[in-house]
């Protein structure tokens, strides 16, 4: 589950330029043979593995990963600067699995792990200085993801504590964090947890919040209209030990998609994706699944029903909101996020 270590697969951060035009129907899916999608590899000069990705624009992007690494680019990925917090020798192995950013100056990062390895740091000066704004004190908590609905209000989620997923929230851009009352959280099942794989096991869109889980079969997706009162639905994505829903994303209050699978059997390409048109109340399995386990996903900015999914053995594209997926690359990637351009 989330407590396993991951080996280095990739030493570069990936952005993609979708230099295409397409007419996509929300009711009928067709693949355009002239639709060519390619990744442009952008060397970072680092050997860290990056799971946290926060593009602000087509010029500004932040990434975070192993060995306490945080990098920032302000020129579209041509050059990268190391801007992570200064860590003690004891903390040098922290893994920053998630990052959120709003400019070249402001960002928030999450390190994962049991106990006080789960931490949140914030910067407002481009990484010149960082403030450690949260340190987990619960021995059984393990924080997986953070998400912000605006630059001030965000949440972070942990694997279940006392039978319920643990949430904390900030209303000052990550400078301070407070626990969310667990009374409104739907109970977790035995063995259920999140996956700190791409920073997208927690998502927010249109004032609503979503949590993806695995460890149970099928994987489940929790949903809330306010972040405090939660319901949960089966996702139709196969789950169990090391498998379930790794990424959930909503385009608006109704239309969402989810991807996942089994990270220890990454070639499995059945029951690893689902879609919803009712705000996550019900989930339908995709008709054509992604080409294997997928850890991250993102809607393509400006395209109503288009999205990308990535994982260690490939990348996929959907034009119909997750109903059908098509592989377009076999490279190894962990995270994806799109901004205007469209650039991902």
| Per-residue confidence in pLDDT tens, the chain, 344 aa | 333 222 222 223 334 333 333 333 333 445 555 467 888 888 899 999 999 999 999 999 999 999 999 999 999 999 999 999 999 999 999 999 999 999 999 999 999 999 999 999 999 999 999 999 999 999 999 999 999 999 999 999 999 999 999 999 999 999 999 999 999 999 999 999 999 999 999 999 999 999 999 999 999 999 999 999 999 999 999 999 999 999 999 999 999 999 999 999 999 999 999 999 999 999 999 999 999 999 999 999 888 899 999 999 999 999 999 999 999 999 999 999 999 877 88
**Are 124 and 104 in the same domain?**
yes
Q: Is residue 24 one of the residues assigned to a domain?
A: no
**Are 192 and 171 in the same domain?**
no
pTM score of the predicted model:
0.91
Q: Which of 138, 163, 179 is the last residue of a domain?
A: 179
**Are 237 and 146 in the same domain?**
no
**Are 134 and 195 in the same domain?**
no
Residue 174, phi-psi category: left (phi > 0), alpha (psi -120 to 50), beta (remainder): left
Residue 56, phi-psi category: left (phi > 0), alpha (psi -120 to 50), beta (remainder): alpha
Q: What pLDDT shows up at residue 183?
A: 98
**Are 198 and 64 in the same domain?**
no
**Are 162 and 60 in the same domain?**
yes
The whole domain housing 282 covers: 186-344
**Are 317 and 211 in the same domain?**
yes
What's the CA gap between 229 and 245, in Å, rounded? 21
Q: Where does 12-69 show beta strands of DSSP type E?
A: 12-16, 39-43, 50-55, 61-65
Q: Is residue 19 one of the residues assigned to a domain?
A: no
Residue 163, phi-psi category: left (phi > 0), alpha (psi -120 to 50), beta (remainder): left
Q: Is residue 242 one of the residues assigned to a domain?
A: yes
Q: Is residue 15 one of the residues assigned to a domain?
A: no
Q: What is the CATH number of the domain that holds 277?
A: 2.130.10.10
Q: What is the CATH number of the domain that holds 78?
A: 2.120.10.10
**Are 227 and 319 in the same domain?**
yes
Q: Is residue 288 one of the residues assigned to a domain?
A: yes
Q: Which of 149, 179, 209 is the last residue of a domain?
A: 179
Q: Is residue 10 one of the residues assigned to a domain?
A: no
Q: What pLDDT shows up at residue 228?
A: 98
Residue 106, C-beta contacts closer than 8 angstroms, at least 6 positions apart? 122, 123, 124, 151, 173
Specify the pairing of strand 243-250 against strand 230-234: unpaired
Specify the pairing of strand 119-123 against strand 307-311: unpaired
Q: What pLDDT shows up at residue 343?
A: 83
Q: Which helix (H) or strand (E) holds 252?
A: none
Q: Which of 152, 179, 206 is the last residue of a domain?
A: 179
Residue found by looking up tokens 């249109």 in the block: 206
What's the CA gap between 140 and 3, in Å, rounded? 11
For 211, the token pair is 């949590």
Q: Is residue 31 one of the residues assigned to a domain?
A: no
**Are 193 and 318 in the same domain?**
yes
**Are 215 and 338 in the same domain?**
yes
**Are 157 and 203 in the same domain?**
no
The structural domain count of the chain equals 2
> Which one, of 321, 267, 320, lies nearest residue 294 by Cα?
267
Residue 201, phi-psi category: left (phi > 0), alpha (psi -120 to 50), beta (remainder): alpha
**Are 62 and 200 in the same domain?**
no
Neighbouring-strand partners of residue 108: 100, 122
Q: Is residue 27 one of the residues assigned to a domain?
A: no
């Amino acid at each position: 589950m989330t407590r396993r270590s991951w080996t280095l697969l990739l030493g570069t951060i990936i952005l993609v330029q979708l230099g295409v035009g397409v007419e996509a129907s929300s009711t009928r899916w067709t693949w355009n043979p002239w639709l060519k999608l390619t990744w442009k590899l952008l060397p970072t000069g680092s050997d860290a593995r990056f799971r946290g990705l926060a593009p602000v624009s087509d010029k500004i992007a932040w990434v975070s990963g192993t060995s306490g690494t945080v990098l920032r680019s302000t020129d579209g990925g041509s050059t990268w600067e190391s801007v992570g917090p200064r860590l003690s020798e004891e903390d040098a192995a922290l893994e920053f699995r998630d990052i959120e950013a709003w400019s070249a100056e402001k960002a928030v990062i999450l390190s994962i792990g049991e106990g006080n390895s789960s931490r949140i740091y914030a910067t407002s000066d481009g990484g010149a200085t960082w403030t450690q704004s949260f340190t987990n004190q619960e021995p059984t908590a393990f924080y997986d993801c953070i998400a912000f609905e605006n630059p001030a209000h965000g949440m972070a989620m942990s694997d279940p504590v006392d039978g319920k997923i643990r949430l904390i929230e900030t209303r000052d851009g990550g400078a301070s964090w407070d626990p969310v009352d667990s009374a409104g959280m739907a109970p977790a099942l035995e063995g259920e947890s999140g996956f700190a794989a791409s920073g997208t096991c927690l998502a927010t869109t249109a004032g609503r919040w979503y949590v993806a889980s695995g460890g149970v079969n099928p994987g489940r997706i929790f949903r809330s209209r306010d972040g405090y009162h939660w319901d949960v639905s089966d996702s139709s994505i196969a789950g169990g030990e090391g498998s379930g829903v790794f990424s959930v994303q909503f385009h608006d209050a109704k239309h969402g998609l989810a991807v996942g699978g089994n990270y220890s059997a990454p070639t499995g390409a059945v029951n690893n994706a689902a879609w919803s048109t009712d705000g996550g109340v019900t989930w339908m399995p995709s008709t054509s699944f992604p080409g294997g386990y997928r850890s991250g996903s993102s809607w393509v900015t400006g395209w109503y029903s288009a999205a990308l999914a990535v994982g260690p053995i490939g990348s996929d594209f959907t034009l119909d909101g997750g109903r059908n997926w098509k592989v377009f690359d076999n490279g190894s990637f962990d995270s994806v996020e799109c901004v205007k351009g469209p650039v991902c």
